């Protein structure tokens, strides 16, 4: 079963993206550089709880 998680921008804090991940156990939060439409630039997005 896949789990949905939200990705939040580190600059403005808005939750712009969702992603489905597998059930394997991860110790660190997912970090992806993506485009934020509010900041109008590519910023680092981190997994939120």
Question: At 2, is the pLDDT very low, low, confident or very high (cuts 50, 70, 90)?
Answer: confident
Is the pLDDT score of 26 beyond 90?
no
The average confidence (pLDDT) of the chain is: 92
Cβ burial of 9 (10 Å; 0-12, 13-18, 19+) is buried
For range 25-37, the mean pLDDT: 91
Question: At 18, is the pLDDT very low, low, confident or very high (cuts 50, 70, 90)?
Answer: very high
CATH topology of domain 3-48: Rubrerythrin, domain 2 (2.20.28)
Full 3-state SS string of the chain: CCEEEEEEECCCCCEEEEEEECCCCCCCCCEEEEEECCCCEEEEEEECC
């Amino acid at each position: 079963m896949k789990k949905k998680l939200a990705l939040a921008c580190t600059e403005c804090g808005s939750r712009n993206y969702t992603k489905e991940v597998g059930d394997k156990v991860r110790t660190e939060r997912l970090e992806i550089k993506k485009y934020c439409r509010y900041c109008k630039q590519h910023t680092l997005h981190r997994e939120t709880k």
